[in-house]
Structure 1
Amino acid sequence: MTEVKLLLFDVFGTLADWHGSIAREVHGLLAARGLAVDGAGFATAWRAEYQGAMEEVRSGRIPFCKLDLLHRRNLDIVLKAQGLDHLDEATRRQLNLAWHRLDGWPDVTPGLARLRLKYRLAPCSNGNISLMADLARRNGWHWDAITGAELARDYKPKAIVYLSAVEAFDCAPHEAMMVAAHSSDLAAAAAAGLRTAFIARPNEHGPGIGETAASVPVDVSANGLIDLAERLGG
């Protein structure tokens, strides 16, 4: 582990409580317009469209586009499915930007501050750069750079996303560690030559719905970023 210089972070689920935040935003915005909507159910349905939309890009069926655009496409699908196709354009834009207003898990801001004393830090997310910047400003996260899908012009778990982040910092793959709450993300990063750290987020998809242990081999497992800092000697 002494060779690791760079920590790369998944964001949705690992650092940010997307489910709770989107549920809150959906309920608030639609309730203000007199619409009773199950915010938690809507958040789950919206996220369920996530991988399929990115696969359109990964497979080459459509050109690369930012996640904001895929989120909007997915939002329109869910609104139609839930009988809310009449929702006005301004509200749709506000809803789509809810992904820019996610709250971090409580351990993340202090954990990143500790890790930053020893390592260079960057998100390696499928989220676009403006989205990552907004989340950082909202939550007090300090990055050395923003890497990920927009830099690579492709989506995880394609190897180019991890390797372009590593290359941006002039590191070799084994000098970087991918930190994520998703075993599939870590398996792909390991296949690209990175070290890996699993973060348990048992409530990612709602209370009691999330990965509590990695289902693939990893270098480190932790219960949050403060725990990760302690395990890495920070």
Structure 2
Amino acid sequence: MSRRVLVTGASRGIGRAIAYQLAADGFAVSVHCRTGRAEAEAVATGIAAQGGTARVLQFDVRERAVCREVLEADVAAHGPYYGIVCSAGVTRDAAFPALTEEDWDIVIETGLDSFYNVVHPLTMPMVRARKGGRIVTIASVSGVMGNRGQVNYSAAKAGLIGATKALAVELATRNITVNCVAPGLIETGMLDDMPLEHALKTVPMNRVGQPAEVASVVSFLMSDAASYVTRQVIGVNGGMV
């Protein structure tokens, strides 16, 4: 039986690229979405067409009770996960004085609270399986260095990095590695409203990255070759940091 892995935020962007890559690596992928059911189904269908295994899970990562209910039922029906990739995230950019309570809450809830909501119900089943495991979070260069107009997003991703490092220590003796990938400017919908000419001045490689370049790093971290890599933050940012 293939090892199971859950990828949140997998209906588009970086999450979608990760889902395709991990399926190609031989994992059975649960493609998570919140509202983009049709897009998630298309990803699962695409994976199947390439000879992989995928199914769709739909829930809001901000809703703690719903996450627990769905994930516990999923584990009961299909067994524990070997891997978790926390890729769900949103931006609500604004200068701090103009940042609304809603802007703050939705970004923190999606980018940070979701780590607890998703990973917590899946951790003990992973531990009890005694087969090791992999947890990878997708943060951002903003969480490493902070970014103008992204106090909320920077806070969420910095918190995610801290949570990742702490959990890595707790799970190390269980052969469960916990690592973080921190992308920079990646060609996804998040860049649609960004003036790239100015932003690229901060990137020594003078280009945006591709989702597949992030997915390849996640692929390594999920592999047996990365069994001694844990508590790390790996930047995929063209030299921004």
Classify the TM-score, shorter chain. 0.3 to 0.5
**Structure number with higher relative contact order (C-alpha < 8 Å, ≥ 6 residues apart):** 1
TM-score relative to the length of structure 1: 0.43
Richer in strand (by share): 2
TM-score relative to the length of structure 2: 0.42
